[in-house]
């Protein structure tokens, strides 16, 4: 069971930056993805095993982001991921990128569970884990 919020450290590499040495805006979306993937892994699920065993995948349907301050090459960042709710096939995450406790980027991400190219409710085992984490009841 992941702690909620879950935290993962990410180092900024040259490939994450633009010509000025600042993190390129799209790199933060990859950082968010890593945070959600590690959150899911802490729940006991891996994307590839879910896809193989149940045909389930996840797709981002909505992403709202506020950029507050830049990160730079070689910075050590912390990506904070928190499940803020779920309903039907949609999971909502609040994600924050911090550097030494200062918020740099704040995001809200809606992820939909999909199977056979259709939105579906996550399988019972995932829902049970979400419920046991004390999240809002699925309706």
CA distances for 73 relative to 16, 19, 24, 31, 49, angstroms: 8, 11, 10, 14, 33
List helix spans (H) across 6-135. 25-42, 47-54, 124-132
Which residue out of 18, 74, 75, 138 is catalytically annotated? 18
18 given a catalytic annotation: yes
The residue with greater pLDDT, 86 or 139, is: 86
- For 6-132, give the CATH class: alpha beta
Closest CA to 91 of 66, 118, 116, 59: 59
Phi, psi for residue 31 in degrees, rounded to 5 = -65, -40
- Residue 125: which residues within 8 A CB-CB, separation 6 or more? none
**Lowest mean pLDDT, pick from 3-12, 23-32, 65-74:** 3-12
Q: Would you kindly state where each structural domain of the chain is located, as residue ranges?
A: 6-132
Give the global pTM. Answer: 0.87
Q: Tens of pLDDT along 86-104?
A: 899 999 999 999 999 999 9
pLDDT of 84 over the 50 cut = yes
Q: Tens of pLDDT along 47-79?
A: 888 887 888 899 999 999 999 999 999 999 999
Q: What does the pLDDT read at residue 40?
A: 86
């Amino acid at each position: 069971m992941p702690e909620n919020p879950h935290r993962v450290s990410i180092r900024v590499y040259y490939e994450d930056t633009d010509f000025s040495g600042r993190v390129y805006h799209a790199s933060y979306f990859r950082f968010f993805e890593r945070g959600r993937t590690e959150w899911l892994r802490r729940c006991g699920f891996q994307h590839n095993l879910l896809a193989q065993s149940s045909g389930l995948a996840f797709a981002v349907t909505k992403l709202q982001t506020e950029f507050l301050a830049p990160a730079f090459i070689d910075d050590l960042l912390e990506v904070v991921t928190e499940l803020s709710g779920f309903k039907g096939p949609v999971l909502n995450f609040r994600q924050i990128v911090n550097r030494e406790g200062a918020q740099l980027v704040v995001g809200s991400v809606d992820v939909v569970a999909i199977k056979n190219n259709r939105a579906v409710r996550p399988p019972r085992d995932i829902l049970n884990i979400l419920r046991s984490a004390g999240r809002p009841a699925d309706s």
